[in-house]
């Protein structure tokens, strides 16, 4: 694999871009692997990369039914942050943020990580208390966070709606300066190229249709390209988790599949140089401006379960209202596209990274709204779980049995009800 550098860009510029190699191979499946990962999204690809890089396990296949990153990885609003309210979550996401900070160098692939800062607005005293609690939790975990007054927010982003009679009056915000955005498909491609470089087989257009077991232990997968034996199998299929785990005989999981939509406007001149989010009764909204100038934004999930990866008009209206409530200057901007991903909403709003009742079958799921930012750490720790057959310190809390033991990680303090998250 050729190394990307300023010299290779110059060299290819001079010889008409004729010397670039494929970023990853397109191999036929082998009959057997040490590890098969189901799902070629960011999490599956990162897991394969770290299995090879951190643990020297290179006889690995990533099996993807479509194209790489065609699931939620290529459909999200690309926000990366580590400002979660539960210590176990914020520490996990902080490890991810640290990996993001060096990811382009590590992968030798520009994932366009831009630490432009994220403001979480609050609109009432209860919101301020919640933000202060969250910031304190973060600081107790050694993560920098600050609370900004209304005037400080106004200095930073002057064109929000600060009027007295605004639908959601702005009282202040919590700022995480190291938060930002990244280019979503570049993350999938970068991990794919990195894993391929270690010898991992990436099998696109290969759907897993069955999971093979013998005596309570997983032994491989059935795919549309034939049977593949495996000593270990990891599942990272986001919204298809219930469907795939049923193939292994596990038919009840604390996860629901929901649609989540995202939107992009026509390109604008620079308007917003940070990420902004807010949640208030009846509203949930987050927005940033892409490097191409489009305003990229989203809101709440659709309030019904679905496997349809497409948008609908009620959510367009809802999210447009949320946008106008905070950034009225968007009123005349044209919406270019909107789309949906099938996300895996867990019952406590927190992810699941766990061994399963089937020996040597491992599950990585339940990322809800927030799995893109987790991609590097998810791959790092899931690879560790698969390689060592036990969770490490940062992942032990995210086991499946936390729901049986009453140790849920209730990120938003709203109980195990997905429709309230």
Q: Which residues bind ligand FAD (CB under 6 A)?
A: 38-44, 63-66, 70-73, 75-79, 207-208, 236-238, 240, 244, 260-262, 298, 341, 343, 367, 369-373
* Cβ proximity to ligand FAD, 12 vs 321, nearer residue: 321
Supply the minimum distance, in Å, between the C-beta of residue 344 and ligand FAD: 7
Supply the minimum distance, in Å, between the C-beta of residue 418 and ligand FAD: 14
Supply the minimum distance, in Å, between the C-beta of residue 120 and ligand FAD: 13
Residue 146: half-sphere exposure toward Cβ, Cα within 13 Å: 9
* Cβ proximity to ligand FAD, 8 vs 74, nearer residue: 74
For helices 184-197 and 375-388, angle between their N-to-C axes, nearest 10 degrees: 30
Q: Structure tokens of 209?
A: 């249709």
Supply the minimum distance, in Å, between the C-beta of residue 185 and ligand FAD: 10
* Cβ proximity to ligand FAD, 18 vs 251, nearer residue: 251
348 with 410: CB under 8 angstroms? yes
* Cβ proximity to ligand FAD, 76 vs 176, nearer residue: 76
* Cβ proximity to ligand FAD, 72 vs 176, nearer residue: 72
In sequence order, what are the residues at sequence separation of 6 or more whose Cβ sits closer than 8 angstroms to the Cβ of residue 179? Answer: 79, 80, 81, 82, 83, 97, 115, 116, 117, 118, 275
DSSP track, 222-268: EETTEEEEEEEEEE--GGGHHHHHHTTT----SEEEEEEEEEEEEE-
Nearest alpha carbon to residue 182 among 250, 131, 257, 107: 107
In sequence order, what are the residues at sequence separation of 6 or more whose Cβ sits closer than 8 angstroms to the Cβ of residue 48? Answer: 35, 37, 60, 62, 191, 195, 200, 202, 379, 383
* Cβ proximity to ligand FAD, 56 vs 243, nearer residue: 243
Supply the minimum distance, in Å, between the C-beta of residue 70 and ligand FAD: 5
Supply the minimum distance, in Å, between the C-beta of residue 340 and ligand FAD: 6
């Amino acid at each position: 694999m050729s190394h990307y550098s300023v010299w290779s860009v110059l060299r290819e510029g001079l010889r008409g871009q004729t010397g670039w190699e494929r970023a990853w191979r397109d191999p036929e499946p082998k009959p057997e692997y040490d590890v098969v990962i189901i799902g070629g999204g960011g999490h599956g690809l990162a897991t394969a990369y770290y299995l090879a890089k951190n643990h020297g396990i290179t006889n690995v296949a990533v099996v993807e039914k479509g194209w790489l990153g065609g699931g939620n990885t290529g459909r999200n609003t690309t926000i990366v942050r580590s400002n979660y309210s539960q210590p176990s979550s914020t520490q996990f996401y902080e490890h991810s943020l640290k990996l993001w900070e060096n990811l382009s160098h590590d992968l030798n692939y520009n994932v366009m990580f831009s630490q432009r800062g994220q403001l979480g607005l609050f609109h009432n005293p209860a919101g301020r208390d919640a933000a202060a609690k969250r910031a304190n939790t973060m600081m107790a975990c050694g993560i920098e966070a600050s609370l900004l007054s209304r005037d400080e927010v106004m200095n930073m982003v002057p064109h929000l709606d600060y009027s007295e009679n605004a639908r959601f009056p702005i009282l202040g915000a919590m700022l995480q300066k190291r938060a930002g955005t990244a280019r979503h498909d570049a993350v999938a491609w970068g991990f794919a190229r990195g894993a391929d470089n270690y010898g991992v087989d990436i099998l696109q257009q290969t759907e897993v249709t069955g999971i093979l077991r013998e005596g309570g232990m997983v032994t491989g997968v059935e795919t549309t390209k034939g049977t593949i034996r495996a000593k270990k199998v990891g599942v990272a299929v986001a919204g298809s988790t219930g469907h795939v785990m049923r193939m292994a005989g596990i038919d009840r999981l604390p996860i629901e599949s929901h649609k989540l939509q995202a939107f992009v406007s026509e390109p604008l001149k620079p308007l917003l140089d940070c990420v902004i989010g807010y949640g208030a009764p009846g509203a949930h909204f987050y927005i940033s401006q892409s490097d191409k100038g489009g305003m990229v934004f989203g809101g709440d999930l659709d309030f019904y379960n679905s496997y349809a990866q497409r948008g609908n008009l009620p959510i367009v209206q809802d999210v447009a209202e949320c946008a106008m409530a905070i950034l009225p200057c968007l009123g005349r901007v044209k919406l270019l596209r909107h789309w949906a991903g099938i996300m895996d909403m867990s019952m406590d709003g927190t992810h699941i990274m766990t061994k399963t009742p089937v020996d040597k079958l491992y599950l990585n799921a339940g990322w809800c709204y927030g799995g893109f930012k987790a991609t590097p750490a998810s791959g790092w720790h899931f690879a560790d779980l698969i390689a060592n057959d036990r969770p490490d310190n940062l992942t032990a809390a995210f086991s499946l049995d936390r729901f049986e033991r009453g140790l849920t990680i209730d990120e938003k303090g709203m109980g195990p009800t997905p429709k309230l998250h």
